[in-house]
Chains A and B, each alone.
Chain A
Amino acid sequence: MNVKGFVHKYGDNVDTDVIIPARYLNTANHKELAAHCMEDIDTEFVNKVKDGDIMVGGANFGCGSSREHAPIAIKESGISCVIASTFARIFYRNAINIGLAILECPEASEKIAAGDEVAVDFDTGVITNITKNEEYKAQPFPEFIKEIIASNGLLNSLK
């Protein structure tokens, strides 16, 4: 599986309250959630984001609440992959469980800039920065998690 898109870049400790503020959690509708994605740190995100774009964060991405609404909002907004130096553990789990591709890669997190065009090869874990002509190697998923992703999410893998 491969994805390619332009980068929306954020810093360390992007929390789930800014990814989707709790004032919008009175719905589980994916489109309504996506309409407010990143609103409290980047009011322009929902207007700028295009299908296939890539989100890049720093350390501890997705910290805070366990709300699955956060990865749902990101996925529904069109983001094809989130790259960060580290992820908060509940967000990491939730992203895998709903089929939002995520990769841990400190080097990519540091070197990729907002607006760069980036391609990701999930089989090899290689992240290619087309704009800067650079390559970074991400941690591949353990087999167990690959199986969940291959089944298109946790619940499908249980059937």
Chain B
Amino acid sequence: MGMTMTQKILAAHAGLESVEAGQLIMANLDLVLGNDITSPVAINEFEKNGFNKVFDNTKVAMVMDHFVPNKDIKAAQQTKQCRTFAKSFNITNYYDVGEMGIEHALIPEKGLAAPGDCIIGADSHTCTYGALGAFSTGIGSTDMAAGMATGKAWFKVPSAIKFTLTGSLQKGVSGKDVILYIIGMIGVDGALYRSMEFTGEGLHSLSMDDRLAMANMAIEAGAKNGIFEVDDKTLEYVNGRVNREFTVYKADEDAVYDEEYVINLSEIVSTVACPHLPENTKPASELTDIVPDQVVIGSCTNGRISDMEAAANILKGKKVAKDIRVIVIPATQSVYKECIKRGYMDIFIDAGCAVSTPTCGPCLGGYMGILADDEIAVATTNRNFVGRMGAKSSKIYLASPEVAAATAVVGHIVDPKEVME
């Protein structure tokens, strides 16, 4: 029986000829990742259980991004614990203030994830690296501790849903709209325990940043991982970043899928997820009565340079609407620098936006843009759960950078086509 992309990667990392859905395996890991929130719990477990070495100091990564630069004393203590651990085990991929970025933007950018890799991260959005053709999945802190100690993790081999993409994206529509559309279609548990595998000629119209945004939100459909077939764009992206050998895996012709969907990208319009679940989607054009108090452009979903470019193109020469606070957060230092180089910083600041150093900050209600009672945000982030960005009665509408920027200018949710030249 044929294997999916995910099954082939898992088989190779478990040292097996083949695997099938439902099989329990022990797989070798290429990278074990944690952040400033999840690593402390992992370090506590690691130390409590008497482990005294990491399996490979170059294959553990810790990125201080959630409450960093430290938001308060307790957060500072947690980062300090990570820093001390990283120093004592000589963790080469430890990223702190000045070098750090939002982990899921930083890891691909630094070439730490490659096609065919098997990666776990103590952060649910670790599924992002599936955009590069890797098997990559979120786990908890205990799995991270075990991964750091042994270089292995157990998995139940997932079955898969196949998404064949056709056509090409309309102007003003990006990867975020596609994944919101798909989550709206299959629901927040539509891919529970399973892989979402993306293939088809439509891939050509998706930039790497579009794919990273889509794979990032596979977890929002309950998926174990999202994975894209590797093509020329993938190889162009990893060449010069990944300084080691890697293997490209393609699904077998006779691979078995639980479900198959054909998605015509040309038919997808700017899409927004309404409170309080990512599956509550509507076309942006139907939500013009929604007037936000705050707009956030950033996060591990949409803080990359294409996202900044999309926002800057809409904000150029314009002012944000009165009474809307707009916060722009480039996801990494290099994205931040590129924004300066390309003149986006001038555009954002002249338009009346606040621009922040990289941080997850407001996305999870940490800091840097918390919502008060009953306030409304339009955000390019990935979750709109109750209280996610602040007060329990606040509301989040998830959108693309194009929709968020257009909303900031017009003063209510709008299809970005309305303001694009």
Give chain A's interface residues, CB within 8 Å of chain B: 13, 15, 17-18, 21-23, 25-28, 40-41, 59-60, 63-69, 71-72, 86, 88-90, 93-94, 97-98, 142, 144, 153-156, 158-159
Cβ of B89 under 8 Å from chain A: no
A28 to chain B, nearest CB (A): 5
Q: Are A28 and B78 in contact (CB-based, < 8 A)? A: yes
Q: Are B188 and A18 in contact (CB-based, < 8 A)? A: no
In the complex, what distance in Å separates the CA atom of A156 from the CA atom of B121?
A: 21
In the complex, what distance in Å separates the CA atom of A55 from the CA atom of B283?
A: 37
Q: Are A66 and B122 in contact (CB-based, < 8 A)? A: yes
Identify which of residues 143-178 in chain B touch chain A, using a CB-to-CB cut-off of 8 Å: 143, 145-146, 149-150, 154
A63 to chain B, nearest CB (A): 6
Q: Are A25 and B385 in contact (CB-based, < 8 A)? A: no
Q: Are A154 and B142 in contact (CB-based, < 8 A)? A: yes
Proximity bits, B199-230, A CB within 8 Å = 1, else 0: 00000000000000000000100101000000
Cβ of B53 under 8 Å from chain A: no
In the complex, what distance in Å separates the CA atom of A19 from the CA atom of B71?
A: 22
A84 to chain B, nearest CB (A): 11
Which residues does chain A contribute within 8 Å of B49, judged by CB atoms?
Answer: 155-156, 158-159
Q: Are B123 and A66 in contact (CB-based, < 8 A)? A: yes
A73 to chain B, nearest CB (A): 12
Q: Are B146 and A65 in contact (CB-based, < 8 A)? A: no
Which residues does chain A contribute within 8 Å of B388, judged by CB atoms?
Answer: 17, 22
Cβ of B372 under 8 Å from chain A: no
Which residues does chain A contribute within 8 Å of B126, judged by CB atoms?
Answer: 66
- Given the known inter-chain contacts A17-B385, A26-B72, A158-B146, please indicate yes or no for A88 contacting B189, CB distance below 8 A: yes
In the complex, what distance in Å separates the CA atom of A74 from the CA atom of B406?
A: 41
Which residues does chain A contribute within 8 Å of B383, judged by CB atoms?
Answer: 15, 17, 64-65
In the complex, what distance in Å separates the CA atom of A64 from the CA atom of B127?
A: 12
In the complex, what distance in Å separates the CA atom of A86 from the CA atom of B41?
A: 26
**Of A27, A40, A63, which contacts B387 at CB under 8 A?**
A40
Size category of the B interface is: 35 or more
Cβ of B118 under 8 Å from chain A: no
9 A-B pairs within 8 Å (CB atoms) are namely A25-B67, A28-B44, A40-B387, A67-B140, A90-B138, A94-B139, A98-B142, A154-B143, A154-B146
**3 closest A-B pairs by CB:** A94-B140, A26-B74, A97-B142
Which residues does chain B contribute within 8 Å of A17, judged by CB atoms?
Answer: 364-365, 383, 385-388
- Given the known inter-chain contacts A15-B385, A155-B45, please indicate yes or no for A97 contacting B143, CB distance below 8 A: yes
**Of B41, B193, B392, which contacts A89 at CB under 8 A?**
B193
Q: Are A28 and B41 in contact (CB-based, < 8 A)? A: yes
Q: Are A60 and B192 in contact (CB-based, < 8 A)? A: yes
Cβ of B275 under 8 Å from chain A: no
Which residues does chain A contribute within 8 Å of B369, judged by CB atoms?
Answer: none
In the complex, what distance in Å separates the CA atom of A153 from the CA atom of B142?
A: 9
Q: Are A22 and B366 in contact (CB-based, < 8 A)? A: yes
Q: Are A41 and B224 in contact (CB-based, < 8 A)? A: no
Proximity bits, B335-348, A CB within 8 Å = 1, else 0: 00000000000000
Which residues does chain B contribute within 8 Å of A89, judged by CB atoms?
Answer: 192-193, 222, 224
Cβ of B395 under 8 Å from chain A: no
- Given the known inter-chain contacts A65-B364, A66-B123, A89-B224, please indicate yes or no for A59 contacting B142, CB distance below 8 A: no
In the complex, what distance in Å separates the CA atom of A23 from the CA atom of B37?
A: 11
The residue on B at minimum CB distance from A98 is B142
The residue on B at minimum CB distance from A69 is B41
Which residues does chain B contribute within 8 Å of A67, judged by CB atoms?
Answer: 37-38, 140
Specify which of A13, A21, A68, A93 lies most central, judged by the most chain B CB atoms within 10 Å of its CB.
A68
In the complex, what distance in Å separates the CA atom of A97 from the CA atom of B44?
A: 14
Cβ of B277 under 8 Å from chain A: yes
Q: Are A68 and B38 in contact (CB-based, < 8 A)? A: yes
**Of A18, A28, A97, which contacts B385 at CB under 8 A?**
A18
Which residues does chain B contribute within 8 Å of A98, judged by CB atoms?
Answer: 140, 142
**Of A22, A64, A153, A155, which contacts B365 at CB under 8 A?**
A22
**Of B45, B140, B224, B365, which contacts A21 at CB under 8 A?**
B365
**Of B37, B44, B121, B189, which contacts A25 at CB under 8 A?**
B37
Which residues does chain A contribute within 8 Å of B121, judged by CB atoms?
Answer: 66
Which residues does chain A contribute within 8 Å of B124, judged by CB atoms?
Answer: 64-66, 90
